[in-house]
Structure formats: C-alpha cells, structure tokens
Amino acid sequence: MKLDAHIPSGPLEQKWTNYVEHVKLLSPANKRKHTVIIVGTGLAGASAAATMAELGYNIKAFCYQDSARRAHSIAAQGGINATKNYQYDGDSVWRLFYDTIKGGDFRGREANTYRLAELSSNIIDQCVAQGVPFAREYSGYLRNRSFGGALVSRTFYARGATGQQLLLGAYSALSRQVAAGKVELHPRTDLQDLVVVDGKARGIIVRNMVTGRLESYVADAVILATGGYVNVYYLSTNAMGSNATAIWRAYRRGAGFANPCYMQIHPTCIPHTGDYQSKLTLMSESLRNDGRIWVPRKKGDTRDPNSIPESERYYYLEEKYPAYGNMVPRDVASRNAKYLCDQGYGVGPTGRGVYLDFRDAIKRLGMDAIVERYGNLFDMYERITGENAYETPMRIYPAPHYSMGGLWVDYELMSTIPGLFVLGEANFSDHGANRLGASAMMQGLADGYFIIPNTIGQYLAGITQGDVTTDNDAFREAQDTVQKRMDRLISVNGTKTVDTFHRELGHIMWDDVGMSRNETGLKDAIKRIQELRAEFWENVRIPGDQHDINQELEKAARVADFLELGELIARDALARDESAGGHFREEHQTEGGEALRDDEHFQHVAVWEYTGEGSEPVRHIEPLEFEWVTPTQRSYK
Amino acid sequence: MKLTLHIWRQKNPQDKGRFVTYHLDDADEDMSFLEMLDVLNQHLIEKGEEPVAFENDCREGICGMCGMMINGLAHGGMKGTTTCQLPLRHFKDGADITIEPWRSRAFPVMKDLIVDRSAFDRIIQAGGYISVNTGNAPDANTVLISRDTAELAMDYAECIGCGACVAACPNGASMLFMSAKIAHFSLLPQGQVEADKRVKAMVGQMQKEAFGACTNYTECEVACPKEISISAIARMNHDYLKAFWPGRAVGGGKHVA
Ligand SMILES: Cc1cc2nc3c(=O)[nH]c(=O)nc-3n(C[C@H](O)[C@H](O)[C@H](O)COP(=O)(O)OP(=O)(O)OC[C@H]3O[C@@H](n4cnc5c(N)ncnc54)[C@H](O)[C@@H]3O)c2cc1C
Ligand code: SF4
Ligand code: FES
C-alpha cells in the first residue's frame, strides 16, 4: 500500500494557495461531462454536492434517511469554530492551527490542519449568506463563545442547534441544485458495496430500502461522506442509523483504514439508566463555559448536592488544571470523570456520574442569561431525567461521540483507491488523536465547500476513463456478492435479535476498548469479538422479507460490519503501544495520570490494509513530520 | 409498567391495514416512548413475528424523522416534544395507548407507522433557499442583523420538518411548515432579495401536492414540537400578497427589521 500524502511544498501558510493556483482545471464544458457519486448528505456531503453541482458536475447523491435534511449533522448543538478574531482576543489562523494540532496530541498532519484553520473564516461567510441565523450582539454583529481546549472565543453558534442550522443551509443549497437538475437525489438508499474497475473507484451498489432491490450506479469518481462509526459501542451520541458500512466496504475493496482506535468519548452526556436504553444524549460542551464540574470530596456521598458545603466539593478540573479549568479538552475531562467514578466518588443512582453545576453562574449572570444561553438544553435534560437543572446540578457522564479515525486520505482527500474520495467524519484527516469541540462541523464544511471542489478537478483532468456501464463484470461481481450476503443474513433464522448482538459488542468495546485500555483487555476483546461474530452468523434472527421495507435487515447488515470493525479497532489499539489523546493505554501514563506519548516509536498514522476474510490485516505507517511546531507534552495546567 | 397498545399494522401501501392489540408488561417509566416500542419489537421478533416498522434516527428531537399519532395526538401531545423524546412517565401504569401513522393524503403510508413525506422536500426544492453560490459571500459582519431579528428568524428556522403540523390539521394543510421557512428567510436581509419569487414558487408547489387548504384551525401550532408560531403564516400571507399585488401590501404586517 503506497501512502503518499501529496503535501504541496513551500511554507505552511502558502501550501493551499499554491495548490489552488496550480491545480489542473476542467473547462465548464468538460465538467458537464463528468458524473460524481456522493454518498452522504450531512455537512460534508451536502456542501460538496451543492458546490460541485454549481460548478457544473452531474451529481448523484445518496442517503439512508427519507430526506437529505436528516443526516446526523443535524444534531450538532454547540457551534463551529472560525478564526475571524471578531472578539479581538488574540485569535489567528496560526492559533487555531496550533490549538488543533496540540489538542490532537501531535498525531495529526500539519498541512491539512493548517488548511482547515485557514478556510474556517470562509465557512462563516458562506453560511451567513445562505441565511443561517447565527447568534448576534445587540449591535447586530456576530457573537461568539468559547469551547474546550482554547483560550479564545471563536465559536459561532445558533442557539443549541448550530448543526441543524448549518445543515439546513447546505440542504437548501443542495435543494436548489436538485431543482436545477444538477443533482439527482436518492434518499432511502443504503450503500452496500463500492465498485472498483481497473483499480479505480467507478460506482456503488445500494439497497433500495423501500423495494429491497439492489441497484448499481456508475460514475467517474465516488465520494464517501458517510459520517462516524462510534455506534460500534452500541450506546453513543450518534443517530440510530449511523454506521460504518460505507467505509468498511471500501476498506474491504482496498482503501486503507487510518487510526481506527482514536475514539472520542465526550465528557458531558446524560448518564446511562437501564438495559433498554437505546442511545446516550449529549449535553453540549458549551455548558462548560458556565457550568462547574465537581464531585463530593467524600466517597459514596449521597446527600442532596445543594446541601453539600463548598469546602466538601471537589472542583477537580479547576484544581488540577488552573489555566483551562472546566475548559480542558474532552479526553482530559472524560478521563478525570471516569477515574473519580472508578474510585467511588461518582454520584447518582449508578455512581457513574459527576455534577455540572450552574448555581454560581446563575448567581453571577442571573437566571435570564442562563435561560437564554442554554434554555433548550436544560429543557431537554428535564424531559429525559425529570430533573430541573436550574435547581439541582445536572449529572453527566462520558459517552462515545466521535471517531477521529476513518479512511486514510491524502491532501486532496483521496483514499488509497484512485477516484475514491472521503470527506467529513468518515476520513481520518485533521484531528489527530483527539478532536477539539466545534471543529468537526468546520472540517466537514471545509472539505465539502472549499477543498473537494478544487481537488477533484485535479483527478478528473488527469485521467482518461474508459466507458464503463453497470453491465461491467466488476459491477456484476459486486452486486452478486451483496446479494449473497443478504440471502445469507435472512437465511440464518437463529434465535437472537440483531440488537442483542449489537449490545454485546458494545459491552466488549466499552469495557476493554473504551476510555482506558491495556494489553490483556485488548487481546481478550479481540477473541471475544471473533466469537461473537461467529455466533452472529449462526444465530441471528431477521424476520420478514428481503424485498420489502425491512429495518431488522438494515440493522443486521450494519452490525455485521461493526463486528468486523470492532476487532480492527482493538488491533489498532493494541499495536499503538503508547497513549495519545483519546487513546489511553494504562501502561503509558505520566505520574499525574495524563496520556504519555512515545514519539520515537509512534509519531505516525497507522493505516490498515485488508487482506481477505480470516487473514490478519497489515499495518502500514505514514510518518508524521513536524516542521512548523514542536511536539510537547500537552499541558492544560 | 403494564401497557395495552393498539398499533396500526399495514404491510404496504396496497394493504388496507388494521389495528392490532399488544400487551406489554415490562415497560419502565424511565424509558422513552420509542424505547418502549423497541422492547415490544424485541418480544415480537423473539416470537417469530414481524416488528412494528417506525422511523427514527437522532432520538434527540432534531432530525424530524420520528412521528406518530399517539392517542389521536401528533407526537403524543406533550408540549414541545417529539415522539422520540416523549418519556413514558407521561403515561399512567395500565394505560391503553393507540398508535397510528400520520394521517394525511399528502403523506401516504408505506408500512405500519412509516409515511412518505417527500412532498416537503419538493416544496423546499421549489424555492426554499437563498441563491448564493459557494465562494460568493462577503465577510459575515458586512451586513448587520439586529439581535431581535436574528432571534425571531431562528424561532422559525427551528422547524424540523416532521410533518406533525400536517397530521394535526383537519385539512391536512402544510402551511406551518412552509411558512416557517418563508418567514425565516424573509426576515433576513439576505433572504429579502428573492422573497417574491420564493413565496410564489413554494406556494405553487404546495398546490401541486395533496395538501389541503388552511382555514385557521391553528391545530398545527399546538402540535408542533418546535412550538413554531402561526405568526409565520401571517408573514407568509403578507409576502404572498406583496408578490402578486406589490401596492396592496405596503405596511400591512411589515416586520421589524
Ligand atoms: C450530538 C452531537 C453533537 C455534536 N456537536 C458538535 C458541535 O457542536 N460542533 C461540531 O463541530 N461538531 C459537533 N458534532 C460532530 C459533528 O456533528 C459531526 O462530526 C459532523 O456533523 C459529521 O458530518 P458528516 O457530514 O461527516 O456526516 P453525517 O452528518 O453523519 O452524515 C452522514 C451521511 O451519510 C449517509 N450515510 C451513512 N451511511 C450510509 C450508507 N451506508 N448508505 C447511504 N448513506 C449513508 C447518511 O444518510 C448521512 O446523509 C456533534 C455530533 C453529535 C453526534
Ligand atoms: S412546523 Fe413544526 S410540526 Fe410542522 S414540520 Fe416544522 S417542526 Fe414539524
Ligand atoms: S428521531 Fe430525530 S426527531 Fe425524533
């Protein structure tokens, strides 16, 4: 597997400008001759589809929901970063770049991360022009707030529904291109395989979720923007349908999978309650702007939190990290919460919770200000828990939230399969081993609005494509493979439901491949996942007909892939014998319990190559060179 | 908790459909409504029956994918709450609950509780956007927007496209959904430019779909999980009048910008 990141030469600040100035261009007439498949209509996919259609390409866009507007980007709450420096608090492209590289524990690529910071401002301009109603000051200027891992205020937001507003902006741009006849939309379709012809990505096989029939689509290039895969933990903050199938099928067709073990466990989610639970609800990180996190100083203290005096409260983040306090990066906040709960300091019925307290903020700013800033989040909390967080502190606990890993891509966002591009959370690119808050949406939109529309031309202008139709052997073979897999799933007719298997996988992943990992646990997890996978294929029960709406079959195909991906995550975590960002190996920690990197041996991206059913995947590396910053031990003290 | 559920089962659009009664003994008041249906479905699968098909995705009240009539009320009738966020503690132990799909000509039933809401997408495609190509935008602070205007635009922009307004309307009208988008855009200077064209195109598309007319029942506002105000409809009507008879609408209902 060849891993050339194709980083343009020249100084960091000029790489992207140079690239754009010298990139190969296609004439408008030639753009019209090209068809591009885009799977996913979230921030990354919808922005790419709209922009490329505006440029003249013919787009075929796919999503599994009934409408493009429902991609899981819709659920992002807190905000999106940009280096406008409207607050005049010392922000700059360099600072956002540095915060992001450092936040990722020096496991990201400098050139990509710098470009991301550079493009962030344009995103805000574009979204405002589309009618996104960002929060404003009384003066009419845009407003900002802070997010974790930063000392400046650079986050733009629309109440607690920033993702919804940004996605509806992209969806409206996409809808305009549908009306213009440049985008053909295929909702309710589930990607099941990638088709590679003569070494290049040329199409996809999908299952029509209404008729259950398999369909083939051909194009000159394929873009995957299918989101993250933390549903491998069963319970997470992702949507019920979020899945790894698209990128997993591409991996099996030869795309390298980078850093699968880098998982983000978000510190502020509503704690788990019972076995029937289907998902975990995020409480936006923006709450940490004003809420204070604490546990009682006494173990197993069951007193009403309001009756616990100040001296008996342990504001552990403020005490341990005076510089950043409650605004430390997510991995640090999550690990500290888990550690204290493991030690017996946790609160609530399960002991798996810490307090997020607004008492002092209400005193300082007044009730109205808190209602205005976070009202919808407090309402949501009350609906789920039945508790009023204005009166009694919220209880929060970490939950799987974001996958920093994904398909390996070069600077042009192309995977190791020529013609297959990957955008948004589905790629591995910009966040290293830990993503900072409010930067995923920035990345998805930078990828879709500003990067891919430039880089795809370079690819399409440089190749001559043979005439391929869906009658090609590669399409037939792929469709046949998918059909056999569907037949096999339906025919098992065992005794256990799909959810039962998914839940068991989630237990293994959370216990041994979760927030803290060690060699014994990881080895054991690999074995247990293999056993569970074998049992799945012997004993899963999927009722109903294949050629019909069949939600159990949809889930089963996804869980079957999670059962393979889970093992790869554990393998990657085992092979990365260091701690970095969200990947914490108990064997490697500082005296203070922080992640201890091993730059000498692990300053690289790990990229896995599929080698066939039952055969062990091969680990390749892309070395990370730091030319512009010096990796240091991350400190938020 | 013990519950008796009367659920609409319909194999496909051709099937006539019927209510089937199920008894559930192991519900828990900490469950969400959809988690209760998950539990029922697990039991059905274990018994070799087909589970109840219903749509959902985010389970956070934001994607707009879930939605069903619960005891005759869209999303179950708890103020400002989608079906996925409806807690079971809203119901009494031993309750009888009737569950049906959205009932509206414009939203044909596909299977059990799943309906086809693609008419909403077509209304947006007709004009629910501001025509700006990527790369055209000036600096975001060039055009100032007062806080009140931005907040009001946001009130309308929060629509999740769930369709409860249509399902709750005795006429099956889509006014609240459509006007929420129109009001959001026409409040903003960026959206003003195309306001006339937009309202004509969206209303035109609505008339081609199977939605009914609005006769001011205001049931939509009550059912809306995002509590979108029917003042949106007045704003849309104002824009509509202005688009056809520019002279007539001057001053009438003009918003504060
Ligand atoms: C609760 C929550 C809050 C968040 N808050 C923030 C925040 O405040 N700031 C921030 O920057 N980030 C936030 N994030 C992260 C951010 O929202 C996501 O990383 C980002 O939106 C992902 O966008 P995407 O376009 O890559 O994927 P998605 O929006 O997940 O879109 C995936 C698309 O792919 C399609 N798809 C997937 N699989 C298939 C398949 N097999 N076949 C066909 N189609 C498929 C889906 O239909 C969908 O259209 C949050 C995430 C969550 C879950
Ligand atoms: S207006 Fe309200 S009820 Fe109607 S689609 Fe929008 S959110 Fe749903
Ligand atoms: S499932 Fe998304 S709003 Fe209910």
Q: How many CB atoms lie within 10 A of CB A319?
A: 10
Does ligand 1 come within 6 angstroms of the Cβ of A43? yes
User: Predicted ipTM?
Assistant: 0.96
Instruction: Encode pLDDT of A302-345 as tens digits.
Output: 999 999 999 999 999 999 999 999 999 899 999 999 999 999 99
Per-residue pLDDT of chain B (257 residues; tens, 9 = 90+): 999 999 999 999 999 999 999 999 999 998 999 999 999 999 999 999 999 999 999 999 999 999 999 999 999 999 999 999 999 999 999 999 999 999 999 999 999 999 999 999 999 999 999 999 999 999 999 999 999 999 999 999 999 999 999 999 999 999 999 999 999 999 999 999 999 999 999 999 999 999 999 999 999 999 999 999 999 999 999 999 999 887 654 444 444 33
Tokens of A291: 């809420």
Write out residues 458-487 of A within 8 Å (CB-CB) of B: none
DSSP states of A261-288 as a string?
A: T-EEEEEEEPPP--TT-----B--GGGG
Tell me the whole-structure pTM to 2 decimals: 0.97
With respect to residue A4, please indicate whether it lies within any of the assigned structural domains. Answer: no
Please give the residue of chain B at the shortest CA–CA distance from A72. B58
pLDDT in the model for residue B247: 64
Q: Which residues of A touch B153 (CB under 8 A)?
A: 131, 133
DSSP states of A352-413 as a string?
A: --EEEE-HHHHHHH-HHHHHHHHHHHHHHHHHHH---TTTS-EEEEEEEEEE--EE---TTS
The best mutation among A73, A192, A429 to test binding of ligand 1, ranked by most ligand atoms within 8 Å of the C-beta, falls on A73
Same domain? For A85 and A228 the reply is yes
Domain boundaries along the sequence of chain B: 3-111, 117-243
Same domain? For A254 and A326 the reply is no
B116–A67 CB contact, under 8 Å = no
B140–A178 CB contact, under 8 Å = no
pLDDT in the model for residue B252: 41
Please state the domain count of chain A: 3
Residue-number span of the structural domain to which A387 is assigned: 265-400
B125–A139 CB contact, under 8 Å = no
What is the C-alpha to C-alpha distance for residues B198 and B236, in angstroms, rounded to an integer? Answer: 10
What is the sign of the dihedral through the CA atoms of A2, A445, A154 and A284? negative
Closest CA to A71 of A543, A451, A534, A426: A426
With respect to residue A624, please indicate whether it lies within any of the assigned structural domains. Answer: no
Same domain? For A25 and A57 the reply is yes
Instruction: Encode pLDDT of A497-511 as tens digits.
Output: 999 999 999 999 999
Same domain? For A117 and A191 the reply is yes
Helix (H, G, I), strand (E, B) or coil at A21: helix
pLDDT in the model for residue A284: 86
What is the C-alpha to C-alpha distance for residues A334 and A582, in angstroms, rounded to an integer? Answer: 9
Same domain? For A223 and A273 the reply is no
Q: Confirm or reject CATH 1.10.275.10 for domain B117-243, answering yes or no.
A: no
Q: What are phi and psi of B99, to 5 degrees?
A: -125, 125
Can you give the length of chain A in residues? 637
Helix (H, G, I), strand (E, B) or coil at A622: strand
CATH number of the domain residue A376 falls in: 3.90.700.10
Q: Which residues of A touch B38 (CB under 8 A)?
A: 276, 278, 499
Q: Are B164 and B223 in contact (CB under 8 A)?
A: yes
CATH number of the domain residue A495 falls in: 1.20.58.100
Please give the residue of chain B at the shortest CA–CA distance from A171. B129
Q: Which CATH number fits domain B3-111: 3.40.50.11690, 3.30.1280.10, 3.10.20.30, 3.90.1150.10?
A: 3.10.20.30
Q: What are phi and psi of A316, to 5 degrees?
A: -65, -35
Same domain? For A502 and A590 the reply is yes
Can you give the length of chain B in residues? 257
Question: What number does the ligand 1 atom closest to the CA of A243 have?
Answer: 38
Does ligand 2 come within 6 angstroms of the Cβ of B160? yes
- Sites in chain A below the pLDDT cut of 50: none
Same domain? For A534 and A550 the reply is yes
CATH number of the domain residue A84 falls in: 3.50.50.60
Helix (H, G, I), strand (E, B) or coil at A183: strand
